[in-house]
Chain A
Amino acid sequence: SAVISQKPSRDICQRGTSLTIQCQVDSQVTMMFWYRQQPGQSLTLIATANQGSEATYESGFVIDKFPISRPNLTFSTLTVSNMSPEDSSIYLCSVEEGQGPYEQYFGPGTRLTVT
């Protein structure tokens, strides 16, 4: 399975600032996903990122708040913009692998605290 790394692993940020989270995969993958896990909650899909096209956002998430880049088949970034304490969460990227069935593998996550 793919090995996924994320940077930073954690950060504490002030409200009103932005943070860019990086996701690096050790193999080329078509589909990458970004999830949010709020404290005590389960995971919610933010958006799907395909290389060479605009990210597709889920209901409740907008590009101005969570811009995503996908410059190649092994890398993606998620920016959390104009942060507020409500953005304090773990942010995880995942990739889809396989010829079918498609299994998703997750990175270790980025723990963000906004003060």
Chain B
Amino acid sequence: KQEVTQIPAALSVPEGENLVLNCSFTDSAIYNLQWFRQDPGKGLTSLLLIQSSQREQTSGRLNASLDKSSGRSTLYIAASQPGDSATYLCAPATGNKLTFGGGTRVLVKP
């Protein structure tokens, strides 16, 4: 059974700092991995999808890396802004089933 851990559970940084969010998973036989953002009381917004054959995926200020063999993914957010404040969730896919980590709650202070 896939288990997903996200560290840290919470993070508070001043505006402009780079963010590093870590995700580890126990079953490396994944199809792909998605990173999501969730604002309080809202649904999920897909940020990035990394295929199992990829090492890295970039979208604007976001960069996600994947080391499938060691069961790790990292989401980097450059030059953080207060609007980046949210909970970030990683979800590796086994077949079409996503398993979610507990999330990292991010607060970017102006």
Bound: A111/B49 CA distance, A:
27
A-side contacts of B42, CB under 8 Å: 108-109
**Mask for A48-80, Cβ within 8 A of B = 1, else 0?**
100000000000000000000000000000000
**Given A4-B43, A42-B102, A101-B32, 12 further pairs, Cβ under 8 A:** A42-B89, A43-B91, A48-B97, A94-B44, A96-B96, A101-B31, A101-B49, A102-B96, A103-B32, A104-B91, A106-B44, A109-B43
**Would you list which residues of chain A between 29 and 44 have a CB under 8 Å from chain B?**
31, 33, 41-44
Q: Are the CB atoms of A42 and B101 closer together than 8 Å?
A: yes
Q: Are the CB atoms of A43 and B89 closer together than 8 Å?
A: yes
**What are 13 A-B pairs at a CB distance below 8 A?**
A42-B103, A45-B98, A94-B44, A101-B51, A102-B31, A102-B93, A102-B96, A103-B46, A104-B34, A104-B46, A105-B46, A109-B43, A111-B41
A-side contacts of B46, CB under 8 Å: 1, 103-106
Q: Number of B residues contacting the other chain (C-beta, 8 Å)?
A: 23
CB distance from A76 to the nearest CB of B (A): 15
Q: Is B100 among interface residues, defined by CB-CB distance under 8 A?
A: yes
Chain B interface residues (CB < 8 Å from chain A): 31-32, 34, 36, 41-46, 49, 51, 89, 91, 93, 96-103
Interface of A is mostly: strand
CB distance from A107 to the nearest CB of B (A): 6
Q: Is A25 among interface residues, defined by CB-CB distance under 8 A?
A: no
Chain B residue, CB-CB nearest to A102? B96
Q: Are the CB atoms of B43 and A103 closer together than 8 Å?
A: no
Q: Is A21 among interface residues, defined by CB-CB distance under 8 A?
A: no
CB distance from A49 to the nearest CB of B (A): 12
Q: Are the CB atoms of A45 and B49 closer together than 8 Å?
A: no
A-side contacts of B100, CB under 8 Å: 42-44
Q: Is A92 among interface residues, defined by CB-CB distance under 8 A?
A: yes
